[in-house]
Structure formats: structure tokens, C-alpha cells
Amino acid sequence: MLWVAIIGLVMTGVALALAGRRVLFLYQLATSGQPAPERVEFAKANIGTEIKAQLVEVLGQKKLLKWTPSGTAHFFVMWAFFILATVYVEAYGALIQGAITGTPDFHIPLIGRWPILGFLQDFIAVAALLGLIAFAVIRIKNSPKTMGRKSRFSGSHLGGAWLVLFMIFNVIWTMFLFRGAAANLGNLPYQSGAFASDATAALLRPLGASANQTLEYIGLLLHIGVMLVFLVIVVNSKHLHIFTAPMNVLFSRRPDGLGGVDVMRSGGKVLDFEEADPETDVFGRGKIEDTTWKGFLDFYTCTECGRCQSQCPAWNTDKPLSPKMLILDQRDHAFAIAPYIMATEAERENLPVDVLELAGKPLVGEDGVIHPDVLWSCTNCGACVEQCPVDIEHIDHILDMRRYQVMIESSFPSEAGVMLKNLENKGNPWGMSEMKRAEWIEELDFEVPIVDEKMPEDLEYLFWVGCAGALEDRAKKTTKAVAELLHIAGVKFGVLGPMEACTGDPARRLGMEFLFTMLAQQNIETLNEAGVKKIVATCPHCFNTLANEYPALGGTYEVVHHTQLLSKLVDEGLLTPITPIEEKITYHDPCFLGRHNKVYAQPRDIMAKVPGVQTQEMHRCKDRGFCCGAGGARMWMEERIGKRINTERVDEALTTDPDTVSTACPFCLVMLGDAINEKKNSGEAKETLEVVDVAQLLIKSVKGQKV
């Protein structure tokens, strides 16, 4: 009927106009931010990688399926959007066909009568309906009203989520209404396969042909109308991720937003500190307009699922940082001051007072969008980035804001200032003399070559000892164990000794990019002049910086962590664990070794080959491992809010009733060791409990000596 087609097309035009207006607004707001040409360039240069990411992360829902119940439900609901698009092709075709011929018996050319398509349409619709029920149960079970901050939905916009579930439900029942009536009138393209539509037809058949004809047109308009209203809701809500998630995945850093930190940029170009001008150049993020368009894309794409929040060590120890709320607060602020951002200077004078007041609100501050305690609670552990199903890069947002606070505002925790001074003056966070870096060698009964100019050809590896490994007593035990194991295995190596300086990781993670660059360039010059090709490092922070961040500054080396090299040497028979260690051991994954660099297997492989060792995993391990609290320069900041992160981690370790806690990071050794000592003093841990590096366990078994 003509009037049905007219109503349908008018509704479509109005909805597309409203949605298009919103999309234009979102585009203009995002592009008002800083350029990020490197994102586009990388995507173009790595098209194969990006196609794989779309197939695995978007279509395959890999990250979502890590959370099996909700992931499975989302998988079917997402695929319903794709497959049921064919139903809308049929619906619009029926609308137009009915107006032209009076009979809405349209089918898609070539494939429109295949029973398999009818089956897929009905199957995915029923599966999506079951998914909606699962979502409802999950949201009720995990409601913030009953669980408080323990709910991953705490802080999310809950009303919008329920509205979208209701709209998807409306899409499904209106689909079956018009298809059931169409089947009774012979207008459904499928003779078989569409089982749910046929079942609906059986229910509607007793109403008669006239009623079914009316229901077909009503159902058709309702089905199209619901979709159009849904479209307008989606582009104005968090469910915008339906459209933006594929783009956010496309322009994400690869292999993910972990590992190395991106270099500082201003106006899309790498910032040159020698020529930079604080008046004209952008130093990090001081206001929301300093966000790149990729940052705005992160805002648009957040699904408010709370996976990041549920895994965050800061949030789990009652600190104010929620990675989810960090993104949402920036997004809501950006939307609120969008009229100011997008207006000309002349237009801004006539803006409402509330918009002008918000425009003057600092991005970070006691009265800012982001409270300083939120910013400085982050350990850079990467749990948020690892769990985010749409590749939001929370750490990048935090570090951009830290950079502005540190370099422009000089606003950061006071105790971190001592660390920065020590790095600048002495090349290490403790401010100790560089001559002390080689003192550990004197405690060995063999010679360790110190590379002062050129790396001798007979040396295969440069052993990057690191500040902690050279200067901190507990970490020095790991250093000596690794050196001795390499010596036993016949691996030729040397060290830089006094020539080695901090890699700059604490400075960069704090936000002092200038100091990081200075230290990095100094080390790169030393390494390049010495002709270093291969490096082994015991500190995951040094390992990550050398492997993932130095290449951008001209320092490209083959870098391995000591657990990777030692595992290889054990496999090759160059190291043979003989003496049994009859202990129950639980392993703590260092964040910068595990999540940031995906090294999970080798430390465990080493322990598995030590006779007598019984390993017991903590509840949170591997990619869901819990931080020790030292990353993100937190090692040099006091933890004054909530429960100490290292205490929380040791409490979890104690549930396995271990004889020993093992790890593979000097920072973790210190943090876990301090917490264990506190537990011993309070009688909550046995006196024999200790924390050791995996290398210490290996040398104990290889040599049969006490670590």
C-alpha cells in the first residue's frame, strides 16, 4: 500500500537526518583535537595486521570471549546486527514492492529464497533474545545497588544500557510479527528454514487473512520504526561503539596499547625538546582539546562494561582511579564544552554561562575534571588495556595528563621529585654513585668483563644490570645468580658498570619526558658506540624500555629478559637443575614482563624443570595477574589511599599456603618482600616464607646451594 511506503520513507528520512547531524557533530568534535597522522600511516603500512585484528577482535570477539558468559551473549547479539541487516533489506524491499504492486512479496536477488538464510536470520534472532536475557541477569546480579564499587557497572550510565536492551528486544519481536504474518499470506521468501517465523505464523493463522495483512503492514512499519529510533539512540549513547569499535581497533597501537609508550607529539609531529616552545607547542594534555582524535575515538567507543575497572589494582584497593570513569569523565566533559571547543572566538562570547564556566575548568586538579589522586594512583600495570574489548588505551591518556602536570604545571607527588633529581644528577633513582654499579662483581669468584669502549667480539650479550640490580641489596642477589648461571652455561657476557645509567623508565612513566629522552639518548650513544647487538636484562622495566622504546630514538637491539634466556639454556642442556627444592611455590607475574610483553611461559618453564618444586597459581595470574604496586613510578611515591597494593597481592599469595613466592622483577621483589615482612611481624605469615627471583631458584638447584 502506498501510504505504508510513504510513512516508512518519511520516518527513514527524519531518522537519518537526526543521526547524520549527530555523526557530523561527533566528527567535528574529534577533529578539533590534535592530529595523529602516525595512526593512519601505521594502519596503511600494516593492512594485513589490521585486517587480522578486525577478523579476530571485532568479528571474532576474542577479548570479549575471555569472559565466557557475557562474551558469548555479546557474540550472538553483535552477529545479530550483521545478519539481521538482511531482514531490513527485505523489509524495505517489501515496503517498496507493496507500494508498486500491492503485494509485499520482495526477496533479495540470488540469495533471497535460500532456506539457509531464513534459518540464519531466525536462529541469530532467537540467540540474540537469549543473549538479552543473559545480559539482564548479569546486570541484575552485578548491580551497583547491591555490590557497590565491587560491581564493574559502578559508575556506568545504567539507564541507557537498559534502554538499548529494550530496543533490541523490540527489533526482534517486531521482526517475527511481520514475518509471521507474511508467511501466512505467502509473502515470506522462505518455504522452509525460518523456523521461528513459521512458529509465529502458526500463532497468527487463526486470526484470518485480513488481520494478518494488517499485522504484516503494522509489523513492517514497527520493525523499521524501531530500527530508526534505535539508530538515533545509538549515536547519542554509549552504544555508539557499534560503529566506532571497528575504527578504534583499526587505529590502535600494535600489537596493542601496552609495551612501549608512544613518543610525545605536538601538532602531529614528534616534539623536539631543543626547539619546543611551551607557549605554542602541546606538552601532553592540559585541556580536553589537547586530546588527539584517536583519544576522542576512545571516548566514543567506551562500552562502559567495566572490565577495566574490575581488574584495576588501584580500584580494587579502594583508590579513586577507575580506568572506565577516567574515560567517561573526559568524554562527558568534552560533550559538555563542545559548543565552546567548536565555536569561533566571536561566538564564544554569546555561549551560555554554564558552558563558559566548564570551559575554564582545569582538566586535572582538585576542582578539575580528573582529580590528581586519580591520576597518580595508576601503576601502569596495563590490566585495563589488556581487558578492554575495544582497544581503548587508558595508559596513554594517563601519561599524557601526567606529562602536562609534570613538565608544565610542576605538579606531582613531592617524593617523586627526589627521584627525578637523583636521575638527573646521578643517573639512578637512589642518588648513589655510579661507581657502585660494579661492586656486586667483587662478590663473584669469576671475572665479569666491563665494557668501557667497544664490545669485545667474543662477548655475545651485554648484561644490562639496571639500577635496582646493581644498587638494591635484594635485587643484587638476582644479578649475581643470573651472572653465575650465564657463566656456568658458558655464555660470554659483559656489563657497562659505571657507564650504565637508568633507562629512564621512572621518569617517562611519571611524565617527565624530557629527562627520559636525555637518559635514553645518553644510553643509546653508549650502546651504539660500543657496538652492542644483544642485551639481556633482569628488570622487566629496563627490558621493556630497551626493547620497545629505545628504537624510536635510534637504539635498536635484540633484547631478552633473563627468564627467556635461562629457559632456553635449560632446554639446550647448558644448565641442568639437579638438586630438588621440596617447596610449594606460587609465581607472581611482573606486569611489565607479563601483560606488557606477554612473557608468561618461560619463568614457569624454569620452575617446572626444578626437581621437587610444586607450583600453585594464584587466582589472579598471567594476563589477569595483579600488580605489586611499583609500576608507573609508584615505586618512589607513598601509597596513602586505601589498602596497599603489595599487601593485597601478598594476601592473595598467602591463600595458596606457599613456602616461597617467586617472581622475575626487582621491583616486585622489594614490594612483595616488604609486604611479607609486615605479615611476618603480625603473625599472618610463617617466618620461613620468602620472596625470590626465579633465577635464584634455578641457581640453588643447579649448584645445590642456599640462595
Check: CB of residue 26 under 8 Å from CB of residue 299.
no
Q: Give the H or E element holding residue 57.
A: none
Q: Write the pLDDT tens digit of every residue in 78-117.
A: 999 999 999 999 999 888 887 788 788 888 888 888 999 9
- Beta strands at 534-537 and 493-494: parallel, antiparallel or unpaired: unpaired
Buried b (16+ CB within 10 A) or exposed e, 630-649: bbbbbbbbebeebebbbbbb
Q: Is the pLDDT of residue 590 over 60?
A: yes
Amino acid, single-letter form, for residue 26: L
Q: Is the pLDDT of residue 544 over 60?
A: yes
CATH class of 571-703: alpha beta
Under DSSP, the state recorded for 284 is S
pLDDT in the model for residue 314: 98
Q: Span 537-558, mean pLDDT?
A: 97
Q: Is the pLDDT of residue 224 over 60?
A: yes
CA 180 to chain CA centroid, nearest Å: 44
Q: CA quadruple 116, 119, 120, 121: dihedral positive or negative?
A: positive
How many whole angstroms separate alpha carbon 531 and alpha carbon 313? 40
On the question of a cis peptide bond just before residue 255, with omega within 30 degrees of 0, the verdict is yes
Q: Span 227-242, mean pLDDT?
A: 94
426-566 folds as Rossmann fold (3.40.50)
How many whole angstroms separate alpha carbon 491 and alpha carbon 31? 53
The Cβ of residue 351 has, within 10 Å, a number of other Cβ atoms equal to: 15
pLDDT in the model for residue 707: 47
Q: Is the pLDDT of residue 546 over 50?
A: yes
How many whole angstroms separate alpha carbon 522 and alpha carbon 520? 5
DSSP 516-583: HHHHHHHHHHHHHHHT--EEEES-HHHHHHHHHTGGGGT---EEEEHHHHHHHHHHTTSS---S----
Ranges of each domain in the chain: 2-9+40-145+153-248, 256-412, 426-566, 571-703
Asked if domains 426-566 and 571-703 share a fold, the reply is: yes
Q: Is the pLDDT of residue 620 over 60?
A: yes
How many whole angstroms separate alpha carbon 73 and alpha carbon 576? 48
DSSP 168-179: HHHHHHHHHHHH
Q: Is the pLDDT of residue 278 over 90?
A: no
Q: Write the pLDDT tens digit of every residue in 302-360.
A: 999 999 999 999 999 999 999 999 999 999 999 999 999 999 888 998 899 999 999 88
- Percent of the residues in the chain that have a pLDDT greater than 70, as a whole number: 99
How many whole angstroms separate alpha carbon 419 and alpha carbon 423? 6
pLDDT in the model for residue 98: 79
Contacts of 601 (CB under 8 A, 6+ apart): 567
Q: Please, which pLDDT band fits residue 1 given cuts at 50, 70 and 90?
A: low
| Angle (nearest 5°) at CA 115 between 111 and 119 | 110
Q: Span 262-279, mean pLDDT?
A: 89
Check: CB of residue 397 under 8 Å from CB of residue 261.
no
Question: Left, alpha or beta for 380 (phi > 0: left; psi -120 to 50: alpha)?
Answer: left
Strand order across the beta sheet in which 534-537 lies? 493-494, 461-464, 534-537, 558-561
Q: Please, which pLDDT band fits residue 705 given cuts at 50, 70 and 90?
A: low
CA 68 to chain CA centroid, nearest Å: 18
Q: Write the pLDDT tens digit of every residue in 190-221.
A: 989 999 999 999 999 999 999 999 999 999 99
Q: Span 437-445, mean pLDDT?
A: 95
Q: Which three cell numbers stand for residue 580?
A: 630438588
Q: Write the pLDDT tens digit of every residue in 32-78.
A: 999 999 999 999 999 999 999 999 999 999 999 988 889 999 999 99
Question: What mean pLDDT value characterizes the chain?
Answer: 94
Q: Please, which pLDDT band fits residue 296 given cuts at 50, 70 and 90?
A: very high
